[in-house]
């Protein structure tokens, strides 16, 4: 399993609008993507930082989403986030929630 970690900065006074866009549009888009498994959204209660972590069945699925659909998601969120979020793709080594263990232990 792979995770896409996206760190973003919200524009001032847009947290509520961001959350509504995320729930009503981004989640719906993600659910339609091949290989998508789960999404977690973290917000800094006192600041502008937001981190979104999506889980994918394979690195290829995450990369396909990144190439084909993510640019449209960025356009959707463009009015509420600062330009150019930081995106990283990482292999999930362990998760109690998803019952994932490292490959070496498996």
The domain over range 2-91 is classified in CATH as 3.30.70.100: yes
pLDDT tens, residue by residue, 13-70: 999 999 999 999 999 999 999 999 999 999 999 899 999 999 999 999 999 999 999 9
Q: Is 97 exposed, middle or buried (0-12, 13-18, 19+ CB in 10 A)?
A: exposed
Q: How far apart are CA 29 and CA 32, in angstroms?
A: 5
| pTM for the structure as a whole | 0.88
Structure tokens at 68: 């084909």
Could you state, in order of their start, the residue ranges of all structural domains in the chain? 2-91
Rounded distance between C-alpha atoms, residue 21 and residue 27, angstroms: 9
CA 87 to chain centre: 9
Token representation of residue 52: 């979104």
């Amino acid at each position: 399993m792979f995770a896409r970690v996206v760190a973003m900065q919200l524009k001032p006074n847009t947290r509520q609008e961001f959350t509504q866009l995320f729930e009503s549009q981004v989640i719906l888009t993600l659910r339609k993507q091949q290989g998508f498994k789960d999404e977690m959204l973290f917000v800094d209660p006192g600041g502008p930082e937001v981190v979104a972590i999506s889980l994918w069945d394979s690195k290829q699925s995450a990369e396909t989403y990144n190439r084909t659909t993510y640019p449209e998601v960025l356009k959707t969120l463009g009015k509420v986030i600062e330009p150019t979020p930081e995106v990283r793709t990482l292999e999930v080594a362990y998760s109690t929630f998803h019952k994932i263990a490292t490959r070496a232990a498996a």
